[in-house]
């Protein structure tokens, strides 16, 4: 019961990985601060958490707004008096070639949510995490390790997360605060169905063949193990781990693999 009475903040907790982590941590007796924009969905998740006997508060917030991130941390301290773990899971994705994007504000929004949201929350939580020698957990993506066509803005935001938290890890080495970066592949979370299209509107499709998708349950099991062990990083797929070596010795091969994966997904969408 590593997380017994562990005060844990989860951003993007209204669905997908965030929701699943909330339930799993509740089973271990964590005290939870759940945040997302959709208050109705947060209330639903909170009910499930309370049914497991865990203490929980919810905070409606947009992590792209600095003041909202401050509000999340203040709510956690007011309710529980400390912060032990923060899981930076909130995110949005895209499904469009950069040349087809009508308004580059799409890229800005993705960067604000995925990258600056993590930075803002970490900034306000860090003094409290130092007191508890706590954990920072960034939920990134394999696109934070390699470039992927149709994901320019998303990949940029996840690359930024990696650079920020790898640097912060070194800065915090003497404080007892650990940084764990998580790199999932495709996971059955629902985020892809809400991907932004070239026109800035939701694409309203899931452009990925489900045969190659990891379940949320398997994903959260790996994440919890990484958090518990205070691992430096968790690259979830064998292809992702091999890709790190191939990128060093045959980078063009990785480019080709990424291109073929997206082309294969396009064919999958056309068949649907």
**Higher confidence at residue 96 or residue 159?**
159
Q: Which of 23, 115, 120, 154 is catalytic?
A: 154
| Inter-residue contact 163 to 206 (CB < 8 Å) | no
Q: Which domains does the chain have, with CATH numbers?
A: 7-271 (3.40.50.720)
Q: Is the pLDDT of residue 176 over 60?
A: yes
Q: With bands split at pLDDT 50, 70 and 90, how would you rate the model's confidence at 33?
A: very high
The phi-psi region of residue 66 (left if phi > 0; otherwise alpha if psi is between -120 and 50; otherwise beta) is alpha
Residue 115 appears among annotated catalytic residues: no
Backbone angles phi, psi at 63, to 5 degrees: -65, -15
Question: What would the pLDDT profile of 191-221 be if each residue is shown by its tens digit?
Answer: 545 577 777 776 655 555 555 678 889 999 9
pLDDT range class, residue 21, cuts 50, 70, 90: very high
Tell me what the mean pLDDT of segment 17-27 comes to: 97
Beta bridge partners of 125: none
pTM confidence score: 0.87
Per-residue pLDDT, 226 = 96
Which strand ranges, in their side-by-side order, compose the sheet holding 178-183?
56-60, 31-36, 7-11, 85-88, 135-139, 178-183, 233-235
């Amino acid at each position: 019961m590593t997380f017994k009475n562990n005060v844990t903040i989860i951003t993007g907790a209204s669905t997908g990985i965030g929701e699943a982590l909330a339930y799993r941590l509740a089973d271990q007796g964590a005290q939870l601060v759940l945040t997302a924009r959709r208050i109705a969905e947060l209330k639903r998740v909170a009910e499930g958490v309370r049914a497991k006997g865990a203490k929980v508060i919810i905070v409606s917030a947009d992590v792209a707004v600095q003041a909202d991130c401050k509000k999340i941390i203040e709510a956690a301290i007011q309710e529980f008096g400390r912060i032990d773990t923060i899981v930076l899971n909130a995110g949005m994705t895209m499904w469009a070639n950069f040349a087809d994007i009508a308004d580059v504000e799409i890229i800005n929004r993705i960067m604000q949510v995925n990258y600056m949201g993590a930075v803002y929350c970490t900034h306000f939580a860090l003094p409290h995490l130092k007191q508890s020698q706590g954990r920072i957990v960034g939920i990134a993506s394999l696109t934070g390790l390699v470039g992927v066509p149709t994901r320019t803005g998303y990949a940029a935001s996840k690359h930024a997360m990696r650079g920020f938290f790898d640097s912060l890890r070194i800065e915090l080495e003497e404080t007892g605060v650990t940084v764990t970066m998580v790199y999932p592949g495709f996971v059955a979370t629902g985020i892809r169905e809400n991907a932004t299209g070239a026109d800035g509107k939701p694409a309203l499709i899931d452009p990925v063949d489900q045969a190659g998708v990891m379940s949320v349950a398997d994903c959260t099991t790996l994440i919890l193990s990484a958090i518990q062990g205070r691992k430096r990083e968790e690259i979830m797929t064998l292809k992702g781990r091999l890709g790190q070596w191939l990128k060093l010795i045959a980078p063009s091969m990785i480019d080709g693999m990424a291109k073929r994966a997206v082309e294969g997904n396009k064919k999958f969408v056309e068949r649907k």
